[in-house]
Structure 1
Amino acid sequence: MGFAQDDRILSKAAYAEKIYLQFDRENYAAGSTMWFKALVANAVDHKPSERSGVLHVDLIGPEKQIINQKLVKIVDGSGNNHFEIPKKMPPGLYKIRAYTRWNRNFSNDFIFSKYFRIFPYQPKDDVGIQNINIVDREGEIFLEAMFNPKQLDSLQKRKILVGLDFNTAKKDSVEIKENDGFYKLSYKLEEKPDYVGIHMLTENGFTARKTVGLDESKVDLQILPESGNLLAGTINFLGIKALDFKGDGIYAEGIILNKDRDTITKFKTNKFGMGVAVLEPKNSEKYVAKLTNINLNTSEYPLPEVLEKGSIVSARRTGDRISLIASTTNKTDSVIIRSSFRGIKLFDIKGAVKDGQFNTSLPSKGFPQGIICFTLIDEFEKPVAERLYFNDTGSEPLSIEVNTNKNEYNSREKTNLNIQVKDSMGNAIDAEISVLAISQDPLGKEQKRRNSIIPYFYLTSELRGEVEHPGLYFNRDDIYRLRDIDALLLTQGWRKYKYDTTGVSIDYQQEPVLAIDGKVNGAIFNQPKEGVELSFMALGDQPVIQTFETDNLGRFIFNIDFLNEETREIVIQSKKGGNKRNFEININDPEILPVDFENRLKIEKPDSIFSEIVNYEQRQQQRQFSYELAEGINQLDEVILEAYQMTEERQKTAELAGKPDVVINGKDIQDKEKDWSFGLYSVLMFNFPDDIRIQRDIEEPGGALQAKVMGGGGTTILMMDGMVVNNLNYPLIPNIPPSEVKSVEIIRFAKHFNRLYQQAYPFVSPMEIPPTGDVISIYTHGKKGIFGAQKPKGILRTTIKGYSPEKEFYQPNYENKERFESEEPDLRSVVYWEPQLKLENGEPAQVSYFNPDNAKEIMLVIEVITPNGQIGYREISYPVKQRDTSDISN
């Protein structure tokens, strides 16, 4: 599909989609659920997209491993889903990525991404890697660190392997031997890096990782001329951006000096590390900015070269008008300033040049709300200078009315809400809303800074790079917010604007519904086969049958939009002339989207609000644990494995990988076998989807089935009868007859995973082994059958991915008297979540939920999108009086 011709389109990025995910919170405890709502909208007008009905959402670990994937069904631009975070998930930095197939045409510009931290379910001591320092020895710089591997691995004896990952893109690994009970790293550095990631690997496969900043006093100062160039002989505005060692904005003060060391001007930054300096540079002069850091050390940063000839354009807010100044050294009697909005041309302003300048002002109400791009163009319509400007209309297009049935509530009392959305004329309108209720202390502080619906659609979705605490720019109680937005656009301005003029080629088609496509080739000459009759069957309790005849290139397509489940087994069979034929059937797989990860963000220095949330959540978990202990409530895995019979094979597995979390008895597998089942994996797929996902090898079209543990560490290896299976034999396992299986057992976050992985993949580099992973252990009666699997001709049996099932948010019901009087503590910090609530025909939405025990104040967050692309945001709070919980353990 191509683009429609429109002379107003300045950038093909105007055809992109904006993807927005709203989360219930910013960071998560291991063992919790991550809830999210997804919006897919046109980039230009924010109307719900009609191009895409499928959203791909990935949960990515710190070592760039995809831990879990969701296919979210998008209807009228909206959908929702969740990720379960296991209690065993290692703490650290993780990433969520969301994209449509269509948006892959626009590079990474419109692929949604968000980083967040997982913290331990209960407090955990930092072990393994300590005392990391940079040491200067007679002019040579060394990285030093101490390791205590025995805190992780009691059987550790002789040596450890240490991997180093520097911000300079350099990587290295060293072997360290024990010396008098110590393991010490002393690594010579050619230059001092900003940060380093350290990975320790013990002899028995235990790992520890830490990323630290090595120069916490270092400031990265960026000086960015307003429209790209410093022009001699005219007043220039400079954007100033000061970043700390983690890349976060930091307050700074400094001066600008000329080559004679005279102070020309001073500057300082705001709380986000951004500021503005004014300079009238002289031709051939050289300037530097000078900073003094917290250690009283000074650093100097050169300014860009001063140009004798060129052009710049400047924009300023003057009351309710926008003032524009174009300066040029070109011999011309007029200039043109083009205004555009999200890649669409608004209008051109042509004006006479006097003394090298053109000045004008325009009413701000004549422009839409959001980022306006002013471009100075030459007579050939080529841009010579550009400036981004945020236009604030002073009012919100929507009003969100939220009424509670009381002003104050008690814990465990029901809150009833009445919610209505109105336009600027006060008329009730149709809309879709999400309702989130959270404990104000401490999640409310985090909510005010986050990238909610308004800052995302108006600001961050249109700029490349990270915007720190975007929610604060839209706090109307902050009198400096417009000044700060202008400083942001000066420092993160037109060079990082997504609606530029870079070329876009259409390599990926729209995906309005979920479908699979592929090609049929001849069995002998491997040529595309036209007119082949294909019968498609999606197996299960309610099979679905379709037929298709291949085109002249041997292509076929089947609609699978009905698959509201993680995976489904399918069979495609070929015929021609009414007879079965041995054609080669292949399903196309989309190109795998590469994984990137910002290593600098791993640096372990969370802010005070994050630390407060972690401490709060862990205290609540400890209260819950104390209650369960007092009531004699056992942990789930203890109950499951109570009657576990430790055979010789199971003992071998336990020693290698640990005890299982889930045991599926062979009889249960055999009882669930259907007439159409064709092996172990086909039974597991349909009957145990919460524990095991069976999917086709995405690296190989039409490839073998693979098994993956759900809720685990991201990578799964297989064991059989106490022995690790070499990965080359994995394709032989799916067709094992269920009658031969004694049990299938799941070990999440297996111990000694490094060693197990090396046995399964014997040629892998030790530093490329995933840090965590899981084991599926299969036990058979006679160790038979795995070498009897044959891939039939003319028929393709495989598994395909369907939409990820949605899950209802749980909340207790205290209308039950026994439940209300229960001493079990209700410690929810996320109190209520309703991601997709429709407001239709002017009728308000009715919402109700029960308040928890631990919250003194509840914050309500309502996000809104309308069918015509208007967006809105509202938050209110109300107090909650806590019940007497003195009889509950603290």
Structure 2
Amino acid sequence: MYSILCRSTRYMLVSLLLSSSLYSFGQSAESVSGLVQPFDNYRKQTLQEKLFVHTDQSFYLIGENLWFKVYYVDGSFHKPLDVSKVAYLELLDSEQKSVLQTKVSLAANAGNGSVFLPASLQSGTYRLRAYTNWMKNFGSDFFFEKRLTIVNPFKPLGLPLLKDTPDYDIQFFPEGGNLVQGLSSKVAFKVVNPSGQGVAVRGWVLNGQNDTLSRFTAQKFGIGTFLFTPTEGTTYRVLIRDEKGRMVTRPLPAVQPQGYTMQLTDAGADQLKITVSSNSSSPSTVYLFAHTRQVIKAAEARTIQREATFLLDKKALGEGVSHLTIFDANRQPVCERLYFKRPTQQLTLDLKSDHPQYVSRAKVSIDASVLAPATKSSQAALSMAVYRIDSLAQANSGSILSYLWMTSDLQGTIESPEYYLQPETPEIAQATDNLMLTHGWRRFRWNDVLSPATRQPLLQFIPEVNGPIVQGTVTDPVSGKPMPDIQTYLSTPGKPVRLYVSRSDSAGRIKFEMQDFYGPKNLILQTNPTDSLAKLTISNPFVDAPPAPKLPDVAINETLSDQLVNRSVAMQVQSTYWGDRAIQYTYPVVDSAAFYGRPSESYLLDAYTRFPRMEEVLREYVLGVMPRKRQDHFRLNVINGPYRTVFENPALVLVDGVPIFDMDKIIDFSPLKIKQLDVVTNFYYMSPALFSGIISFMTYKGDLAGFPLDPRLVKLEYDGLQLERQFYSPRYDSAKQLSSRLPDARTLLYWNPNLQTNAQGKGHIEFYTSDQPGTYLVEVNGLTKEGIAGSQQVRFEVKNRLE
């Protein structure tokens, strides 16, 4: 465990390097250092990670595969990271229950895989989320999330069409955070229907006497603003009317008797004006603190007596979402709002197909080019999906570009995030600012930054810098209290021989850093029963989902039933005729040697005389092992090779990598079931344990061959990293293949998570169409090593081939 902690400090070095960007500002008072220094310290101690998951599409039927690519970047600068090596992916249903889970290797700053959607899934909207072990320290708000629609055509949908109801979700967001008595405020509002889509409404702000104080109209996606000045002792409500004339009433947030408000406006083309207002007549000090993804951009102080003004150069802010926070004289945050600076650092991708239209089973050639990377290199790592779109299956919502620059730094679901990154118009600029008012959120708590007690937060989950870390606990079986300083052993029986050792910390926690840990495994966890009778448990590496708003139901209109039947038949045809060919895996190259490396002695027992008892085998030709019997029990000691003396302490004895502490069981076990015997005739250090030699018995199949294990140990099935499944796409480059009567019902024509452009920024792809006519979308996401992201789409048509 200690070696894990030492190696994991590598993330600290990465954090320090990433934090080296300089910020420049005029410190109008020395006291701003009371904000700057704690913030800088916190940032250096808490590396921020981001994951983006590109899925092949967003609409699926059960029986299909969900293919994905995971992009892994630093949260501040979006450059590919090389810290965490494992990503956790889950599919959550509408009740926030995890129905599918998998782990993916991030060995090359990215990872990819697939998930089969079983028939047990119900039709509905699901939430795909992804995170690393390190990200678990900061809460699920940091995780990547994406909505997917999955339909089970073999079960009644049980999903009513969306009702024509005015039961909207209506929320109000005063600029800066609060309504304050006697201070004018801009109030943003958001009105969405049960499906999460914005609703066009009109509204009125009313006081207790039903007097109209303000009128407003929703703009893009049901979001808008109005101005309002609350007075003392008055309650307020809002009356909203939709386009069908239906009325809904909601109360406004409570009015604070004392406090601050803030207002952000343009002060010309190059500056922002931040006006801070207070209903206190006493002079005081307020601070403006601005950062872009935790990179400090400005820190200033002003004296306030009713009002104070800050001017901020737009060029001082980073691209994307910036946080502007106002602190009072006690350095407590009192107001905050977001500002979005349109990114200029975009990866411009060009996709060109050789034809706009194809017939079935025709070759498609697509050139993918990086035209304007705005970077030192034209090389980019891309992922590409080609799938049919129709009234059921729409284009994916949310690209890597919109996620990194916007969605990942905002709270809640963003409807059509690509809209905000279009060429700017007054309408888009206004909609973007409204979005900043209604989706405010930050990736930390100010109390963690400024409070001395939490300035160095306790990080329970270390980054998995070499591979999966299996965690567990050691507790007293009677009291349930943690048991510290207990040595534990974790084995994965099989070939090659693997053993891991960990000593419990003060909280009873144990950690095992796994090597070449792919596919489903049997784990065996134990202590030496002569030393401890502790209760051992293995922790679930996946995080319980917190309460969340219910996901919208799936409404399938009767007019789309033919399309649903067609898609269902296509899925079944593919499964029946192509299933075996489509299930192919890429197996990683792993170290085939046992954990102890090359042994001092190795015996293939079939090359020797086969004795019926294990004691005879050990005494007759195993030179490095000395069997001894004391008080009617056997002990196995190893001869210290360099000194030709017998180790005083017993050796570590293994069967297929599982430690065995009862030597009588070894002696009684049939040697005919053992294929190989290795002996290490010197001290072997395996942090935190030191062994007086190793005696390793290996069965023919690596399955313990019925060896009687201690019934008190913990044995369970545990999934390692996912084996990479190969995407299968048939070829029709001969007359025989073209005329094959084998049906081809693919609606996903192509998936490539690892499309790499060359030094000139060029990439080329070829694949074949299927027997399914329709409109197909080519969708590409990509990232350069400098962290420049981009996405692009192009469409083509497929017609039936004329016989």
CA distance, structure 1, for counterparts of residue 357 and residue 425 of structure 2? 28
Match of 2:799 in 1: 882
Superposed counterparts of 1:411-810, under 5 Å:
411-421=360-370, 425=374, 428-442=377-391, 445-447=394-396, 450-476=397-423, 480-493=427-440, 496-503=441-448, 505-512=458-465, 513-516=467-470, 538-540=492-494, 542-546=495-499, 548=501, 558-565=512-519, 567-569=520-522, 586=536, 588-590=538-540, 593-596=543-546, 598=548, 600-605=550-555, 615-622=562-569, 792=710, 798-810=716-728
CA contact (8 A) 1:560 1:802 kept: no
Match of 1:660 in 2: none
Superposed counterparts of 1:121-520, under 5 Å:
121=153, 216-293=165-242, 296-307=245-256, 309-317=258-266, 319-330=269-280, 331-332=282-283, 335-351=286-302, 356-393=306-343, 395-406=344-355, 409-421=358-370, 425=374, 428-442=377-391, 445-447=394-396, 450-476=397-423, 480-493=427-440, 496-503=441-448, 505-512=458-465, 513-516=467-470
Q: 1:262 to 1:38 in 2, by over 3 A?
A: same
How many residues align structurally? Answer: 633
CA contact (8 A) 2:225 2:434 kept: yes
Q: 1:880 to 1:423 in 2, by over 3 A?
A: closer
1:884 is matched by which residue type in structure 2?
Answer: R
CA contact (8 A) 1:522 1:529 kept: no
1:313 Cα deviation (Å)? 1.5
Q: Within the alignment, does 1:36 sit opposite 2:68 as a pair?
A: yes
1:840 Cα deviation (Å)? 5.7
Of 788-797 and 230-239, the range deviating more from structure 2:
788-797
Q: 1:824 to 1:396 in 2, by over 3 A?
A: farther
Q: Which has the higher contact order (CA 8 A, sep 6+)?
A: 2
Query: Unpaired segments of 5 or more residues in structure 1?
Result: 127-208, 638-787
- CA RMSD across the alignment: 4.2
CA contact (8 A) 1:31 1:121 kept: no
1:119 Cα deviation (Å)? 1.4
1:528 Cα deviation (Å)? 7.0
> How does the TM-score come out when normalised to structure 1?
0.62
Q: 1:10 to 1:825 in 2, by over 3 A?
A: farther
CA distance, structure 1, for counterparts of residue 232 and residue 408 of structure 2? 38
CA distance, structure 2, for counterparts of residue 264 and residue 821 of structure 1? 74
TM-superposition CA deviations, 1:818-841 (whole Å, max 9, x none) = 222335554433221111233464
Of 465-474 and 554-563, the range deviating more from structure 2:
554-563
2:431 is matched by which residue type in structure 1?
Answer: D
Q: Within the alignment, does 1:859 sit opposite 2:774 as a pair?
A: no
CA distance, structure 1, for counterparts of residue 110 and residue 574 of structure 2? 39
TM-superposition CA deviations, 1:563-613 (whole Å, max 9, x none) = 222x1235678789xxx989779464247632456563254546x7xx887
CA distance, structure 1, for counterparts of residue 484 and residue 342 of structure 2? 59
CA distance, structure 1, for counterparts of residue 186 and residue 574 of structure 2? 63
CA distance, structure 1, for counterparts of residue 737 and residue 439 of structure 2? 54
1:249 Cα deviation (Å)? 2.5
CA contact (8 A) 2:473 2:504 kept: no
> How does the TM-score come out when normalised to structure 2?
0.68
CA distance, structure 1, for counterparts of residue 488 and residue 327 of structure 2? 58
1:75 is matched by which residue type in structure 2?
Answer: A
1:868 is matched by which residue type in structure 2?
Answer: E
Specify which of 18, 22, 35 is matched with residue 54 of structure 2. Answer: 22
CA contact (8 A) 1:217 1:294 kept: no
TM-superposition CA deviations, 1:5-49 (whole Å, max 9, x none) = 964438669633222222111121122111111123222222333
1:102 is matched by which residue type in structure 2?
Answer: W
1:467 is matched by which residue type in structure 2?
Answer: I
CA distance, structure 1, for counterparts of residue 487 and residue 501 of structure 2? 8
CA contact (8 A) 2:333 2:446 kept: no
2:462 is matched by which residue type in structure 1?
Answer: Q
Match of 2:639 in 1: none
SS in 1 for 2:724: coil
SS in 1 for 2:550: helix
Specify which of 768, 790, 794 is matched with residue 872 of structure 1. Answer: 790
SS in 1 for 2:288: strand
TM-superposition CA deviations, 1:633-678 (whole Å, max 9, x none) = 89999xxxxxxxxxxxxxxxxxxxxxxxxxxxxxxxxxxxxxxxxx
1:73 Cα deviation (Å)? 0.8
CA distance, structure 2, for counterparts of residue 562 and residue 229 of structure 1? 53
1:238 Cα deviation (Å)? 0.8
CA distance, structure 1, for counterparts of residue 727 and residue 476 of structure 2? 50
CA contact (8 A) 1:217 1:245 kept: no
CA contact (8 A) 1:460 1:467 kept: yes
TM-superposition CA deviations, 1:406-432 (whole Å, max 9, x none) = 555444332233334366547543332
Specify which of 86, 101, 118 is matched with residue 86 of structure 1. Answer: 118
2:404 is matched by which residue type in structure 1?
Answer: F
CA distance, structure 1, for counterparts of residue 284 and residue 427 of structure 2? 38
CA contact (8 A) 2:379 2:759 kept: yes
What's the % identity of the aligned pairs? 21
TM-superposition CA deviations, 1:783-825 (whole Å, max 9, x none) = xxxxx99751697665442211111112120113222233555
CA distance, structure 1, for counterparts of residue 209 and residue 488 of structure 2? 83
Q: 1:93 to 1:217 in 2, by over 3 A?
A: same
CA distance, structure 2, for counterparts of residue 335 and residue 250 of structure 1? 38
1:436 Cα deviation (Å)? 1.5
CA distance, structure 2, for counterparts of residue 334 and residue 78 of structure 1? 47
Q: 1:479 to 1:823 in 2, by over 3 A?
A: farther
Of 107-116 and 55-64, the range deviating more from structure 2:
55-64
Q: Within the alignment, does 1:107 sit opposite 2:139 as a pair?
A: yes
Q: 1:819 to 1:327 in 2, by over 3 A?
A: same
CA distance, structure 2, for counterparts of residue 477 and residue 856 of structure 1? 33
TM-superposition CA deviations, 1:300-356 (whole Å, max 9, x none) = 333334456432122235545433222233433764321112234321134565x84
CA contact (8 A) 1:441 1:855 kept: no
2:193 is matched by which residue type in structure 1?
Answer: D
CA distance, structure 2, for counterparts of residue 412 and residue 385 of structure 1? 60
Specify which of 718, 727, 738 is matched with residue 820 of structure 1. Answer: 738
SS in 1 for 2:395: helix
1:297 Cα deviation (Å)? 4.9
1:70 is matched by which residue type in structure 2?
Answer: T
CA contact (8 A) 2:183 2:261 kept: no
Query: Unpaired segments of 5 or more residues in structure 2?
Result: 17-36, 449-456, 581-705
Of 398-407 and 21-30, the range deviating more from structure 2:
398-407
SS in 2 for 1:465: coil
CA contact (8 A) 2:375 2:786 kept: no
TM-superposition CA deviations, 1:254-307 (whole Å, max 9, x none) = 112344433332111134221111234445554332223566454433333445
CA distance, structure 1, for counterparts of residue 389 and residue 326 of structure 2? 47
Specify which of 734, 750, 763 is matched with residue 832 of structure 1. Answer: 750
1:434 Cα deviation (Å)? 0.7
